[in-house]
């Protein structure tokens, strides 16, 4: 394994399809593409940190060899400014066939493709058609539902599942032993619980905990790291809101927006998943989900995300008071 | 430079474009428009500059005229009360591109807000006809904000390129004040600079005026010297306006209160947002009040996206009446409650402090010597906008707080730049988007950088981060 990078999540990213520890069905189908030296357009869907990007990078390396970087272009839809700049980049990249090698096409990887609006996706579909001879597209996203039908029907769809706990444990143990970290059973359990099959998060958590505790990772080390990361702070914010401590909740919100630089949409996503899992009466979950949904929509309409999120915190305060009755 | 007897604000008035503080966007819009005159008559022959006072609107026009080689004819409100007077002043020369000396000409109508409907017979019409026939640039400046959107200015707005100037960010006011103080040979405590900047609410001219007033007869200005600034007209007019909005009983009353504030409506919304939770202590009122503000924000978004300023009235309705009418049960004791709960969180029993509502704000007076605890209390109260009154022996927490959104974002401008660059490096190395980098990876990096600096060196190199960026991760 090539040692690349100081962050373990990158350093231990599988370099070849052979090294992937999970998604074995998907991996074996992808291996066949490599053997045949041909592939269709691909659509990878699944939650974060389950190997979607890893799989396509590994496939590219297996297909093109060590110079694979010359044959791929990675774009991230959420970082690009609109479909026009995407079109320009694709055009430059895809109008020529690979100069050397036995594979007659390049691969364009479009991550977070589901963040594109429907009209932008239609434009993307056109682009895919125009350059199909010299370029294969691999679109990556969280949900296939948010990819338009015409694109879905032109792609082979691969659904990636959260990693199983056994795979997680094996991989984390092997990293820990290579890095000389003493990973205790309760630490491992805490990582698995917190990361829910998201390998990137699991490895980041392991590395941060190891750094904090000088190489011994138990559950308290994990919790202390988690306490400093955004989902916990989001939970803290919700709880302050429900308790009616609006001003304090707003301070946490501001620190997430300003100090952590989080996007309002991401905070809202975490608020939503917190509320769904919280220990509150079921009918309140529906009501609050409605409130979150409304804010989610208003974020696209308004101009001050902080005010929209604060309005939600005030609703939480009201809900908390009514629930207590 | 001591011995100069011109007012400092005049002395340090920007002479060149480079000296103008902030408002880069407005400035470049203006310059682009002026340059477009080189290629023939542009679509809009007038530029309408508006914004709060003391942010450099007139200076920008003067500097631009100098830089691009225009002769500037400046007219003030008193000069254009009537059509006749305007014509007498500029004659028919506005039809010609150049002056007798062969220089290009620019006409500036400053202090446009000084025109009022009744007495100014034909003033606006006359300006309008000048714009229509203009063969050289016409510039209009209006200082107040709400008036700019009044019906009477509408024909002028429609005929002009609208350029907005904004308040000068806090950090830049501080920086400029520091520079002025240094050049005038006055030493000023950092906290005093910040107080002056805060009181100015982004009006650089008034900030420099205040600095000069404070420096009179003193070689050194300390934080306590600045207490007189609290009584500034503007701050109190904003406070009064907010007070009236929060207690208005009708839409008309609330709207009038909103219009009386000496602030751009955007900043006013920030002020309302900032202070509402301290005023609306009843959860239902607060929830409805923020709902109203959320509606205002949505209309603001629509107004800006569609560039349809007729939608602005709905923004103002929701921000004033919508907010005012949400208040039913609140007693306005949110601030005092926040102070108490902050003190309780620090573990002090109630008897430790006397908390009194005074006309200038809430006084928090310790009943015993706090010793080492002073620092903890101080930072808790500072979060609520209060400050320690040296010599008085209490903290003063003003009833109204400056909008934190602006100051916080202003203060962390560099921070955000570092944040952006760290996010870019992480995004590239991890094959993820910047947004994801910020929410999923950087929090862990921060833990490592903060808790285990000895391990962060290697990561810093791998990500190609500068010292400053690494510092940001540690902060």
pLDDT in tens, B219-234: 888 887 777 664 445 5
Residue of A nearest to B437 (CA): A262
| Beta-carbon pairs below 8 A across chains A and B | 166
CA dist., res. B465 & res. B463, Å (int): 6
Q: How far is residue A156's CA from residue A154's CA, in Å, rounded to a whole number?
A: 7
Last residue of a domain, one of A128, A159, A190: A159
Query: A40 with A146, same domain?
Result: yes
Residue B184 in domain: no
Predicted confidence band at B150 (pLDDT cuts at 50, 70, 90)? low
End-to-end Cα distance, chain B = 40
Q: Specify whether the CB–CB gap between A242 and A319 falls below 8 A.
A: yes
Cβ-Cβ contacts under 8 Å, A212 against chain B: 447-448, 451-452
Inter-chain residue contact B433 with A228, CB threshold 8 Å: no
- Cβ distance A303 to B404 less than 8 Å, yes or no, reads no
Same domain, A89 and A127: yes
Say whether both B315 and B409 belong to one domain. no
Share of chain A above pLDDT 90, in %: 52
Q: Are residues B145 and B36 in the same domain?
A: yes
In a domain, B223, yes or no: no
Q: Are residues A187 and A111 in the same domain?
A: no
Residues on chain B touching A263 (C-beta within 8 angstroms): 435, 438-439
Count: domains in chain B: 4
Does B341 share its domain with B266?
A: no
- Whether B354 and B272 map to the same domain: the answer is no
Alpha helices in chain A (DSSP H): 8-11, 24-36, 52-64, 82-94, 118-130, 149-154, 165-178, 185-195, 199-212, 219-226, 230-242, 246-254, 264-277, 282-301, 305-324
Q: Does B346 touch chain A (CB under 8 A)?
A: no
Verify that B53 and B147 share a domain, yes or no.
yes
Show the 3-state SS of A144-201.
HHHCCHHHHHHEEEEECCCCCHHHHHHHHHHHHHHCCCEECHHHHHHHHHHHCCCHHH
Q: A192 with A128, same domain?
A: no
Query: Cα distance from A78 to chain B (closest Cα, Å)?
Result: 6
Domain boundary among A159, A177, A200: A159
Same domain, B386 and B409: no
B79-109: pLDDT as tens digits = 666 677 777 777 655 555 555 566 788 999 8
Mean pLDDT computed over B53-75: 91
B265 or B26, greater pLDDT: B26
Q: Which long-range contacts (CB under 8 A, 24 or more apart) does B306-310 make?
A: B309/B149, B309/B157
Instruction: Identify the domain boundary among B324, B350, B379.
Output: B324
Q: Establish if A298 touches chain B: CB-CB under 8 angstroms.
A: yes
Written as six digits, the tokens of A317 are 């305060």
Whether residue A132 sits in one domain with residue A73: yes
Last residue within a domain, chosen from B345, B366, B397: B397
Our count of domains for chain A comes to 3
Pick the residue from chain A with its C-alpha nearest to B271: A307
Do A221 and A235 fall into the same domain?
Answer: no
In order along its 325 residues, chain A shows pLDDT tens digits of 334 568 899 899 999 999 988 888 899 999 999 998 889 999 999 998 999 999 999 999 999 999 899 899 999 988 887 788 888 888 888 777 777 677 889 999 999 998 888 888 888 888 888 888 889 999 999 988 889 989 999 999 999 999 999 999 999 999 999 999 999 999 999 999 888 889 999 999 999 999 887 888 998 888 888 877 777 889 999 999 999 999 999 999 988 888 777 888 889 988 998 999 888 999 999 999 999 999 999 998 888 899 999 999 999 999 999 988 8
Q: Where are the alpha helices (DSSP H) in B69-169?
A: 83-90, 123-133, 154-158
Beta carbons of A260 and B431 less than 8 Å apart: no
Residues A154 and A279 in one domain: no
Nearest CA among A254, A234, A248 for reference residue A314? A248
User: Does residue B198 fall inside a structural domain?
Assistant: no
Selected for mutation to probe chain B from A261, A268, A306 (highest B CB count within 10 Å) is A261
Higher pLDDT, B57 or B3: B57
Read off the pLDDT band of B410 (50, 70, 90). very low
Judgement on whether residues A141 and A36 belong to the same structural domain of the protein: yes
Query: What pLDDT, on a 0 to 100 scale, did the predictor assign at position A14?
Result: 92
* Stretch (H or E) spanning B341: helix B334-345
Residues of A in contact with B448 (CB under 8 A): 207-208, 211-212
Same domain flag for B416 and B391: no
Is the CB of A317 less than 8 angstroms away from the CB of B451? Answer: no
Residue A11 belongs to some domain of the structure: no
pLDDT at residue B113 greater than cutoff 70: yes
Same domain, A54 and A154: yes
Does a structural domain hold residue A96?
Answer: yes
pLDDT at B44: 92
Find the domain containing A255 and state its range: 231-324
Of A159, A183, A201, at which residue does a domain stop?
A: A159
- Given a cut of 60, whether residue B407 has pLDDT beyond it is no
Long-range own/partner contacts, residues B148-153 (CB < 8 A, 24 or more apart): B148/B48, B148/B50, B148/B113, B149/B309, B149/B312, B152/B115, B152/B117, B152/B124, B153/B112, B153/B124
Distance from CA of A105 to the nearest CA of B (A): 22
* Contact call for B448 and A317, based on CB within 8 A: no
Across the interface, which of B283, B404, B438 has its CB nearest the CB of A244? B283
A76 to B427: CB separation less than 8 angstroms, yes or no: yes
Same domain, residue pair A123 and A80: yes
- In a domain, residue A3? The reply is no
CATH code at position B82: 3.40.50.300
**Domain-located, residue B435:** yes
**pLDDT one-digit tens code per residue, B236-258:** 567 778 888 888 889 988 888 88
Predicted ipTM > 0.85: no
* Whether B147 and B29 share a structural domain: yes
pLDDT in the model for residue A35: 92
Nearest C-alpha of chain A: how many angstroms from B296? 8
Kindly state whether residue B229 falls inside one of the protein's structural domains.
no
CA distance B167 to chain A (A): 18
- B424 and B384, same structural domain? no
User: Does residue A41 sit in the same domain as residue A144?
Assistant: yes
Q: What is the mean pLDDT of chain B?
A: 83
- Beta-bridge mates of residue B47: B139, B161
Q: Is there a domain that residue B7 lies in?
A: no
B90 and B33 housed in the same domain: yes
Let me know if residue B13 belongs to a domain: no
Query: What is the pLDDT, as a whole number, of residue B472?
Result: 83
**Mean pLDDT, all residues of chain A:** 89
Structural domain contains residue B201: no
Lowest mean pLDDT among A43-57, A162-176, B59-73, B346-360: B346-360
Domain identity same for A51 and A135: yes
Are B378 and B347 found together in one domain?
yes
The per-residue pLDDT for B6 is 76
- Within this chain, do residues B309 and B340 fall inside the same structural domain, yes or no? no
Q: State whether residue A264 is helix, strand or coil.
A: helix
pLDDT of residue B145: 60
- Residue B251 belongs to what domain range? 234-324
> Confidence class of residue B152 from pLDDT cuts 50, 70 and 90?
confident
Using pLDDT thresholds of 50, 70 and 90, give the confidence band for residue B373: confident
Per-residue pLDDT, B414: 67
């Amino acid at each position: 394994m090539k040692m690349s990078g100081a962050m373990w999540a990158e350093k231990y990213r599988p370099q070849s399809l052979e090294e992937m520890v999970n998604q074995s069905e998907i991996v074996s189908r992808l291996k066949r593409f490599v053997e045949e030296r041909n592939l269709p357009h691909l659509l990878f869907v699944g939650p974060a940190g389950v190997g979607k990007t890893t799989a396509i990078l590994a496939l590219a390396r297996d297909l093109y060899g060590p110079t694979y970087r010359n044959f791929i272009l990675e774009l991230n839809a959420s970082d690009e400014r609109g479909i026009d700049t995407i079109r320009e980049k694709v055009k430059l990249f895809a109008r020529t066939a690979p100069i050397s090698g036995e594979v007659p096409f390049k691969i364009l990887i479009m991550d977070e493709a589901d963040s594109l609006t429907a009209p932008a996706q239609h434009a993307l579909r056109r682009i895919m058609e125009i350059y199909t001879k010299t370029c294969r597209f691999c679109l990556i996203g969280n949900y296939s539902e948010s990819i338009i039908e015409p694109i879905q029907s032109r792609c082979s769809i691969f659904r990636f599942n959260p990693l199983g706990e056994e795979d997680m444990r094996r991989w984390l143990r092997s990293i820990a032993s290579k890095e000389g970290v003493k990973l205790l059973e309760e630490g491992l359990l805490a990582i698995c619980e917190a990361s829910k099959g998201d390998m990137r998060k699991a490895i980041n958590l392991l590395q941060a905990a190891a750094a904090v505790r000088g190489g011994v990772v138990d559950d308290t080390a994990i919790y202390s790291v988690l306490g400093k990361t955004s989902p916990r702070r989001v939970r803290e914010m919700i709880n302050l809101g429900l308790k009616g401590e609006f001003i304090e909740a707003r301070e946490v919100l501001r620190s997430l927006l300003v100090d952590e630089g989080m996007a309002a949409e991401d905070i809202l996503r975490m608020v939503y998943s917190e509320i769904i899992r919280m220990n509150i009466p079921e009918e309140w979950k529906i009501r609050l989900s409605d409130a979150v949904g409304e804010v989610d929509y208003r974020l696209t309409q308004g101009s001050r995300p902080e005010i929209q999120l604060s309005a939600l915190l005030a609703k939480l305060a009201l809900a908390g008071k009514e629930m207590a009755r | 430079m001591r011995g100069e007897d011109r007012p400092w604000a005049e002395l340090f008035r920007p002479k060149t474009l480079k000296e103008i503080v902030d408002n880069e966007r407005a400035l470049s819009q203006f310059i682009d428009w002026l340059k477009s005159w080189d290629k023939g008559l542009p679509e809009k022959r007038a530029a309408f500059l508006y914004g709060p006072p003391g942010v450099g609107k007139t200076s920008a026009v003067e500097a631009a005229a100098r830089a691009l080689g225009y002769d500037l004819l400046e007219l003030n409100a008193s000069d254009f009360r009537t059509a006749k007077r305007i014509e007498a002043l500029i004659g028919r020369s506005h039809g010609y591109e150049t002056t007798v000396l062969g220089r290009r000409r620019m006409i500036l109508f400053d202090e446009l807000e000084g025109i009022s409907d009744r007495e100014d017979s034909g003033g606006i019409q006359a300006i309008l006809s000048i714009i229509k026939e203009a063969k050289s640039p016409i510039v209009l400046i209006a200082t107040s904000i709400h008036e700019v959107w009044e019906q009477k200015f509408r024909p002028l707005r429609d005929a002009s390129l609208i350029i907005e100037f904004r308040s000068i960010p806090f950090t830049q006011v501080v920086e400029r004040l520091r520079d002025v103080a240094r050049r005038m040979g006055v030493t000023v405590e950092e906290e005093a600079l910040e107080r002056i900047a805060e009181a100015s609410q982004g009006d650089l001219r008034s900030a420099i005026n205040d600095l000069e007033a404070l420096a009179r007869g003193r070689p050194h200005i300390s934080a306590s010297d600045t207490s007189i600034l609290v009584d500034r007209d503007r701050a109190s007019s904003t406070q009064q306006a907010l007070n009236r909005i929060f207690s208005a009983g009708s839409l008309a009353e609330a709207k009038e209160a909103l219009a009386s504030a000496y602030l751009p409506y955007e900043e006013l919304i920030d002020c309302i947002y900032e202070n509402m939770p301290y005023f609306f202590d009843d959860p239902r009122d607060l929830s409805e009040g923020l709902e109203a503000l959320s509606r205002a924000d949505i209309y603001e978004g629509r107004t800006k996206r569609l560039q349809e300023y007729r939608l602005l009235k709905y923004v103002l309705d929701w921000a004033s009446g919508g907010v005012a009418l949400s208040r039913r049960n609140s007693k306005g004791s949110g601030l005092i409650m926040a102070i108490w709960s902050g003190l309780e969180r620090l573990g002090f029993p109630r008897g430790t402090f006397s908390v009194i509502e005074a006309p200038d704000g809430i006084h928090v007076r310790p009943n015993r010597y706090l010793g080492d605890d002073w620092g903890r209390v101080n930072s808790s109260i500072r979060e609520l906008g209060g400050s320690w009154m040296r010599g008085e022996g209490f903290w003063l927490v003003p009833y109204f707080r400056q909008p934190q959104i602006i100051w916080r974002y202003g203060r962390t401008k560099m921070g955000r730049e570092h944040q952006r660059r760290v996010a870019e490096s992480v995004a590239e190395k991890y094959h993820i988007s910047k947004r994801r980098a910020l929410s999923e990876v950087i929090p862990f990096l921060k833990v490592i950088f903060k808790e285990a600096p000895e391990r962060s060196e290697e990561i810093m190199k791998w990500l190609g981060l500068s010292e400053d960026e690494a510092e940001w991760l540690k902060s």
